[in-house]
Structure 1
Amino acid sequence: MGKIKMKTNRSAAKRFKVTARGKVLHFKAGKSHLLRKKTRKRKRHLKKPTILSAANLSAVKRLIPYKF
């Protein structure tokens, strides 16, 4: 029997992007509604992707094994 391939979690594959150096980018939560009370600066910073923290990296690597 050959090696059994892992399935990629499709929802995670759509939410995370791996850079060329192996870092994981994701978008912050909180940009969909209740925007009136948030400052312009805060909304602007929510637009940009950020690097995933090291604490969550191992969990994401299990979800999207073939992107690394």
Structure 2
Amino acid sequence: MPKMKTHKGTKKRFRVTATGKFKHRCAGTSHLASRMSKKRRRNLRGTRVLHDSVNHQIARALGFYSL
């Protein structure tokens, strides 16, 4: 059997924490931010922890476990 490949797009967008959770950048921050309120822009800074219901999809795309 061939080796399972890492999904490179997922690898660029997600990072694993020490406890095994996944961090990601908030959506909607790349452009057109001038129409947002200051509070909304401020709250979109930094990274967030991914919701538990999607963790298995990201882990599979990153090659943590196979099919």
Instruction: Give the number of equivalent residue pairs.
Output: 64
Q: Aligned partners of 1:45 and 1:52: how far apart in 2?
A: 16
Picking from 29, 35, 38, the partner of 2:36 is 38
Q: Aligned partners of 2:43 and 2:21: how far apart in 1?
A: 19
RMSD: 1.3
Output the TM-score relative to the length of structure 2.
0.84
SS at match of 1:36: helix
Output the TM-score relative to the length of structure 1.
0.83
Picking from 27, 30, 34, the partner of 1:29 is 27
User: Gaps spanning 5+ residues in structure 1: where?
Assistant: none
Deviating runs (4+, > 4 A) in structure 1? none
User: Gaps spanning 5+ residues in structure 2: where?
Assistant: none
More strand by share: 2
How high is the sequence identity, in percent, across the aligned residues?
38
